[in-house]
Amino acid sequence: MTIENTIVEHVKNAVQSLYQTEVAADSIVIQETRKEFEGQVTVVIFPFTRLSKTSPEQTGTRIGEYLMQHVAEVTGFNVIKGFLNLSVSDQHWVDQLLGNVLNESYGQFPSNGQKVMVEYSSPNTNKPLHLGHVRNNLLGYSVSEILSANGYDVIKVNLVNDRGIHICKSMLAWQLFGNGETPESSGLKGDHLVGKYYVIFDKEYKKQIEELVSSGQTEEEAKKNAPVIKQAQEMLLKWEAGDQEVLKLWQMMNGWVYAGFDITYKRLGVDFAKYYYESDTYLLGKDTIQEGLDMGVFFRKDDGSVWIDLTEDGLDQKLVLRADGTSVYITQDLGTAQLKYDDYKMDKSIYVVGNEQDYHFKVLFLILQKLGKSWAEGLYHLSYGMVDLPSGKMKSREGTVVDADELMDDMIRTAKERTEELGKVDGFSESEKANLYDMIGLGALKFFLLKVEPKKRLLFDPNESIDFQGHTGPFIQYTHARIRSVLAKAGYSTKLTSNYQEGLTVLERELIVTLAKYPDVIDAAAREYSPAMIANYIYELSKLYNKFYHEESILKAEDPDVRNFRLDLSLASSSVISKGMKLLGIRVPERM
RNA sequence: GCAUCUGUAGCUUAAUUGGAUAGAGCACCUGACUACGGAUCAGGAGGUUAGGGGUUCGACUCCCUUCAGAUGCACCA
């Protein structure tokens, strides 16, 4: 039981005995005491003044006195306005550190017996991954890690959009202009090669539109009549009809793309337990449509198309099956949702998808609920904001994207330059150096993208390279390396001190209080699906440790008990930093 | 037009979900034990939380409204 829970319990009793009123535990607000006041735990008193019919100060004082008498850990209190600040005994904090924080499993909750699926990445196979995908991948991976730390059994899946007109465009352009170019012959990564032809297609398409317009067609007509777009559409029809030649080309080019993606995923450090391919799932969902018709949830119009009326829920009428009986986007998503559930029977399912699809997912989940799917309750759309550039939106057709591979290269190169400037890698082997630059460069990138709340839109200026100082990944990595260095110097293993006497310094106490709330942060981050909460917590902890480090001697402490205690505190800090960063997919070095 | 999201210091952002004097970082200025690792630490300056109204003991947070931006409103995916 945490100290907060203990205090809530006793505040409840205090109100009961002082004012003869029952209050619900969750209506009692407890918070961390602000730094400028004495104490560590604060109870907000305002809600009780209604019952006590006395001033907040008087009420706070009476409850404070009650707590002093009934809770052993509470050693003092003060009341400021309506806030009751409680001092908790040093012994309690020391026990927290030695008994909890330093445990191997600290921050890892036991299994809760629940399965959760996280679908993320979901790339198209006609172009390489760009910065927007990077945000998606990092979010999906990190949320998976966080859920796992909270005791969930996590299944990471990737739903690959491997079919459709966009792939036919790349395929066609390659046929027309490729001269048999391959990744081997060009030296290009497969996904980049295919992406190159996607851009070529678009150029050709635009050229043809222009020609048609100048020969008298309207822009709209020209867009429909341009020969390349017609050819691409024919190709899609052939693909759907199972044309061997088209399928062969499709398989070859997708193969190139997958080989490229594998490399990028590996560098990013993300992985998947299961891949779903739209070429397998795009015809799914028709059973579900029939189910809905039988239940009367859907209705059929005269032309044969099938719809659902969501106007009572504040939404529109939505088409779920075309008049000719073919699927639309939501049809296959209904089918895929069912397929995924049948495969895994998970309790929750998280879709990591950009916020331009908010409406789609609202509709999707609502339909599944109306179809009476018990598991629809567990569906969640983790919606995140777009990544914008100063020049505006990224458009892969126009080549105005920040490429994921290039971005990683840049970050790692910057990390290398920065580290060499500081001249701290003497004695590192070449492979150790490469590993370190990788760690720092990607750490900077990942932290930069994850420290912002997912739903906020992200502005990325490629000209201003990402900082390595301040509120950054490298700052935290540096703190970790610094602690490890002190521990190494002390020849310190994992031994614990036991007989630390009371009398913590302010910073020692603050550090323990901060370390002690780590599990709460893990829990909150999972409830909110927010890696940003972890990122900001780890930053706060690192900052605090650096302050402590600066003001209190560790190795030079005269009293050996104090020295050992501070080493314990340092070990605990480095361990929590390392664990928290791992949840963000960021590694931390022993030296840097 | 309708709907959803966003708006916090010059820039990037936080605020324990309605609590105390809105915290940080970057950039700018000033400093730091003769560096247990200076990718650090301390201090200064910088805010009408987009504007206005309301609810509340108490509002960045909830409600209404205006403004700005983004996205969605396809028998595309």
The mean pLDDT value for A21-34 works out to 88
> Which helix (H) or strand (E) element contains residue A530?
none
Count other Cβ atoms within 10 Å, centred on residue A125: 27
> Are A425 and A559 in a shared domain?
yes
Tokens of A488: 């190494």
Distance A398 CA to B70 C1' (A): 20
Q: Where are the beta strands (DSSP E) in A444-560?
A: 458-459
> Are A49 and A174 in a shared domain?
no
Residues spanned by the domain of A465: 404-583
Residue A94 in any domain: the answer is no
Distance A393 CA to B51 C1' (A): 29
Residue A556 in any domain: the answer is yes
Q: Is the CB of A505 under 7 A from strand B?
A: no
> Are A439 and A528 in a shared domain?
yes
Distance A30 CA to B57 C1' (A): 18
Strand B bases near protein CB (under 7 Å) are: 3-7, 11-21, 24-27, 33, 36-42, 57-58, 70-77
> Are A472 and A579 in a shared domain?
yes
User: Over chain A, what is the mean pLDDT?
Assistant: 92
- State the alpha helices, DSSP H only, in A98-242: 131-149, 165-177, 183-186, 190-214, 219-225, 227-240
Residue A399 pLDDT greater than 70, yes or no: no
Residue A454 in any domain: the answer is yes
Q: Is the CB of A345 under 7 A from strand B?
A: no
* Three-state secondary structure string covering A240-256: HCCCHHHHHHHHHHHHH
Note the pLDDT tens digit of each residue in A248-266. 999 999 999 999 999 999 9
- Taking the C-alpha atoms of residue A118 and residue A134, their distance in angstroms, rounded to an integer, is 16
- Domain end, chosen from A258, A286, A319, is at A258
* Residue A434: CATH number of its domain: 1.10.730.10
Nucleotide with the nearest C1' to A326 CA: B75
Q: Is the CB of A555 under 7 A from strand B?
A: yes
> Are A37 and A170 in a shared domain?
no
Distance A510 CA to B56 C1' (A): 33
**Residue A364 CA, distance from chain mean position:** 22
Residue A272 in any domain: the answer is no
Count other Cβ atoms within 10 Å, centred on residue A542: 25
Contacts of A16 (CB under 8 A, 6+ apart): A22, A23
Judge contact between A468 and A478, C-beta under 8 A. Answer: no
Cβ within 7 Å of strand B: which of A 136-165? 161, 164-165
**Which among A106, A103, A91, A101 has a CA at the least distance from the CA of A499?**
A91
Count other Cβ atoms within 10 Å, centred on residue A5: 11
Note the pLDDT tens digit of each residue in A530-550. 999 999 999 999 999 999 999
Residue A390 pLDDT greater than 90, yes or no: no
The mean pLDDT value for A32-55 works out to 91
Residue A397 pLDDT greater than 70, yes or no: no
Burial (CB < 10 A; 0-12, 13-18, 19+), residue A470, is: exposed
Note the pLDDT tens digit of each residue in A210-252. 999 999 888 888 888 999 999 999 999 999 999 999 999 999 9
Cβ within 7 Å of strand B: which of A 205-244? none
Which ipTM did the prediction report? 0.95
- Domain end, chosen from A88, A105, A126, is at A88
Domains contained in chain A, number: 3
Nucleotide with the nearest C1' to A590 CA: B37
Note the pLDDT tens digit of each residue in A5-19. 999 999 999 999 999
Task: State the pLDDT at residue A449.
Answer: 94
> Are A84 and A168 in a shared domain?
no
